[in-house]
Amino acid sequence: MNKKKIALIMGTRPEAIKMASIIYALKQRSSDIDTVVIATAQHRQMLDQVLSLFNIVPDIDLDLMRPNQSLNDLTCSVLQLMQKTLEDVKPDLLMVQGDTTTVFAASVAAFYLKIPVAHVEAGLRSHDLYNPFPEEANRRLTSVLAQIHLAPTPLAKEKLLNEGVNEENIFVTGNTVVDAMSTLLDAPFSFQGSPIENLPLSQHRVILVTSHRRESHGEDLKNTCLALKGIVQRFPDVIIVYPVHLNPNVRKTVMEILSDAERIALTEPVDYLCFLNLMRNAHLIVTDSGGVQEEAPTLKKPLLVLRKLTERPEAFNAGLSKIIGTSTQKIIDEISLLLTDDKAYQAMIGNNPFGDGKASERIAELVCRWAKNQKPLLQYENEFKS
């Protein structure tokens, strides 16, 4: 019997991080399946960092990043290039991860060619189409097109069931970011040679901040920056580390308000391994990121989320994160609480609701069973239980 061919596609740093361990697990099953790795390079520089970190060389690199391209331009590019690529590769299954424009457009291209789609990290929902934008729409639309739904948590499965997805096509695997982090954090690491190397981290309580999302641009980001300035003025033992995103809309606001602030270190973006170790050294984390909402609880770090709502409520439901919005005073109050009240701080440290480090093995086994037409693809007792 001919082996089935599985194509995996990624365009951004988060996709590559969460696909890396799946690629490893699938390649170890080369006697059962063939694996083809496709990069769109939606985010060229940041994607390349992760590919290098995990020693992944794409079989096909579409290199479609262009300066200041619109979402329409990007979607059209992915659709057109993926049609030709899929026609050439002829995969039996396309695997996509998450909620990027690469994920949505590649899924459409596969659908038009009647190639089934497996969606890793399926079922995340904020229930607000414009928050986060465009990710909420991307993941909902991808769910309509996918035939195999790899939900990271039981709650994500519940969201899919509520939308009418057939339960027989949903499998709870855990989130592969936990697998990636487990591997990387076992390796020796030094900040030497990074933008962090000269910061006096050991002499202060470190607050790690990231804020870059489209919804945060403008007044919300300004409010956040003013809050950070207020915190260092109030707490002399605190240092804030803020790797500033390359987006000019972010950099303009952040630099104008914080460039001269004492004990606020504005650094260039750092690679993922450096960022993981920054999180590990942080006292607490403040972010508007999606992925950090999974990573901080994995590291048992209290997390404050600079959003009005989240598509990852598992940590919030477990008391491991708080959604605090972008009011300057609210941000100051919530950070101050965790810096002064040890009981409140310890209450935000608990068991990780996102995974157990075995998600990639579950997915690889599931794909092999799919290739052999074995049912069920994943036994219920082998699914991730948070």
> How does pLDDT run across 104-155, given as a tens digit for each residue?
999 999 999 999 999 999 999 999 999 889 999 999 999 999 999 999 999 9
Give the sheet arrangement for strand 170-172, strand by strand: 60-61, 33-39, 4-10, 93-97, 117-120, 148-151, 170-172
Show the domains of the chain with their CATH numbers: 4-175+355-382 (3.40.50.2000), 201-346 (3.40.50.2000)
CA distance linking residue 152 with residue 348, whole number of Å: 21
Give pLDDT, residue 145: 98
CA distance linking residue 269 with residue 280, whole number of Å: 17
Q: pLDDT confidence of 59, banded at 50, 70, 90?
A: very high
Give the amino acid at 107. Answer: S
Residue pointed to by tokens 């803020």: 242
> Any idea what DSSP says for residue 202?
G
Does 43 score more than 80 pLDDT? no
> Any idea what DSSP says for residue 201?
G
CA distance linking residue 42 with residue 105, whole number of Å: 12
Does 296 score more than 60 pLDDT? yes
Does 1 score more than 60 pLDDT? no
Give the amino acid at 5. Answer: K
Mean per-residue pLDDT, 188-208 = 92
Mean per-residue pLDDT, 345-373 = 96
> Any idea what DSSP says for residue 323?
E
> How does pLDDT run across 7-17, given as a tens digit for each residue?
999 998 899 99
Residues 6+ apart with CB under 8 A from 218: 249, 253
Q: How many CB atoms lie within 10 A of CB 316?
A: 18
Give pLDDT, residue 258: 96
- Tell me the pTM: 0.91
Catalytic sites, residue numbers: 99, 121, 135, 212, 214, 245
Mean per-residue pLDDT, 259-273 = 92
Q: Copy the structure tokens of residue 288.
A: 């508007």
Give pLDDT, residue 290: 87
